[in-house]
Amino acid sequence: MGMKDRYGNGLSTDQPAARDHYDRGVALFLGGNFGASDAFAEAVAVDPDFALGHAALARALMMEARMADAKAALARATELAGRGTERERQHIAALGLLLAGKPDEARKAVLEHVQTYPRDALVAQLCTNVFGLIGFSGEVGREAELLAYTSALLPQYGEDWWMMSMHALSLCETGQIDASMRLMEKALALNPRNANGSHFKAHAQYEAGDTQGGRAYLETWLAEYDNRSVLHGHLSWHCALWALHAGDEEAMWQAVDSGVAPGAAKGLPINVLTDTAAILYRAELAGIAVEPRRWSVLSDYAAQNFPETGQSFADIHAALAHAMAGEGARLAKIAETAKGFAGDLVRPVARAWGAIAREDWAGALADLSQTMARTERLGGSRAQRDLLELTYVNVLLKLGQIDEARRSLTTRRPVLAEAPPVAAFP
Ligand SMILES: [Fe+2]
């Protein structure tokens, strides 16, 4: 006892080497860098009774999509929890709720935990970021809630690159682009290899319409990033998207085939599915021919990795892949029975993809119109939800509603209005 982690929390291990491996793992994990699970495994090899070492190992394994190993590590942490402090017990319990597939209860547990232990970063982390427990709450106000959450935590963290990057992300997603960029530069000066920093710096550049500057920055940054790291595939998607906006089709396919698509990407299935579906359809909207085989491969990938609905953000992208691949039965299952945090919105979106695949533009408009006022409930960043914005605009154009299409972009996504990446614009 008496040992503290890098955020000043007491740790129930008396082995300095275990603490050092743990701290190294925490920094790797919070920075989205490869090697966190190895570091935590080393921590528990030094001290097999180190409860939070096992809990952190479980969390890192989850981010590598190794769910069975994660559950085993968490079971060991839970066995050991009784010997630890209240903070450690609650920390492990919150993770347990997440791993048990109880996101609403996990979110409540995290919000309560950080009231008392704001600097318990691995717990606080669960509610941060676009793909966190607030991001995927399915609530209308979840972007504002995320901002409130990181606003409250930021002063507790002092000069900490991770929390700065998380708050900068919240600022970006609520339209405060300049403030986001300033804070992110500060965070990146403290740790230039924080992938959560480079990621949302790229988002701020996207929101500012800085295609050229963003591309140059991110491609250079990505070249030094281990391709086994959690954000490699998604950052490759950002590069592919900018290449598309810049009219560089060759670079777009190169990024897709080296980092985004099934087989190429080493990241989480949710990123592989959503990023691949989004870039393929955004390429089609921009007038680029997409080989049908790409959609078939993606539809198979979606069916394999997301056999049941529930993850609404994944579900709308799975439905898109199934529609474009002509997999009617797979599509119908989502369109008719989608469950999950925004299942009620997934169904009309899935029907719209089906209508679009049949070129039934009026049918697509009827279904999309139901969802456009509440797309944040589906999850994902603003840049990701531009898939829906651009699809909606394209449907309007197909119906000859050119003024309405322009108005939609100018009012909803002005950053895309000047040079819309939609070939159907006259
Ligand atoms: Fe992103």
Rounded CA separation 208/322 (Å): 33
State which residues form the domain around 159.
128-208
Question: Domain check: are 103 and 147 in the same one?
Answer: no
How close is the Cα of 113 to the center of ligand 1, in Å? 28
pLDDT at 1 over 60: no
Q: Residue 412: which pLDDT band, with cuts at 50, 70 and 90?
A: very high
Same domain, 138 and 47: no
Q: What is the pLDDT of residue 372?
A: 96
CA 1 to ligand 1 center in whole angstroms: 40
Mark which of 92, 114, 136 sits at the end of a domain: 114
Average pLDDT over residues 168-175: 97
Q: DSSP assignment of 123-191, as one string?
A: HHGGG-STTSTTTTS--TTHHHHHHHHHHHHGGGSSS-HHHHHHHHHHHHHTT-HHHHHHHHHHHHHH-
- Looking at the structure, do residues 352 and 389 belong to the same domain, yes or no? yes
Shared-domain flag, residues 390 and 312:
yes
Query: What's the CA-to-centroid distance between 68 and ligand 1, angstroms?
Result: 27
Q: How many domains does the chain have?
A: 3
pLDDT band per the 50, 70, 90 thresholds, residue 83 = confident
Residue 371 has pLDDT above 80, yes or no: yes
Same domain? For 91 and 154 the reply is no
Same domain, 413 and 272: yes
Q: Has residue 89 got a pLDDT over 70?
A: yes
Determine the distance separating the centroid of ligand 1 and the alpha carbon of 91, expressed in angstroms: 28
Q: At a CB cut-off of 8 Å and minimum separation 6, what does 413 contact?
A: 382, 386, 389
Asked if 269 and 375 touch (Cβ cutoff 8 Å), the reply is: no
Cα-based angle 51, 53, 58 (whole degrees, multiple of 5): 100
Distance 373 CA to ligand 1 centre (A): 22
Distance 5 CA to ligand 1 centre (A): 30
Average pLDDT over residues 3-15: 95
Q: Are residues 325 and 282 in the same domain?
A: yes
Q: Dump pLDDT digits (tens) for 107-163.
A: 999 999 999 999 999 999 999 999 999 999 999 999 999 999 999 999 999 999 999
- Boundary (domain end) residue, out of 208, 229, 248: 208
Q: Are residues 185 and 85 in the same domain?
A: no
Residue 260 confidence class, pLDDT cut points 50, 70, 90: very high
Residue 254, in any domain of the structure: no
CA distance 75 to 69: 10
What is the rounded average pLDDT for all residues in the chain?
A: 97
**What is the CA(308)–ligand 1 centre distance, in A?**
25
- 169 CA to middle of ligand 1, Å? 10
Q: Are residues 134 and 85 in the same domain?
A: no
Domain end, chosen from 208, 226, 257, is at 208
Which is nearest to 390 in space by CA: 357, 361, 423? 423
Q: Looking at the structure, do residues 160 and 110 belong to the same domain, yes or no? A: no
Q: Within 10 Å of residue 389's Cβ, how many Cβ atoms?
A: 19
Gap between the Cα atoms of 182 and 185, Å rounded: 5
The helix/strand/coil state of 412 is: helix
Q: 227 in helix, strand or coil?
A: coil
Q: How far is the CA of 189 from the centre of ligand 1 (A)?
A: 20
Residue 122: enclosing H or E segment and its boundaries?
A: helix 121-124
pLDDT at 2: 73
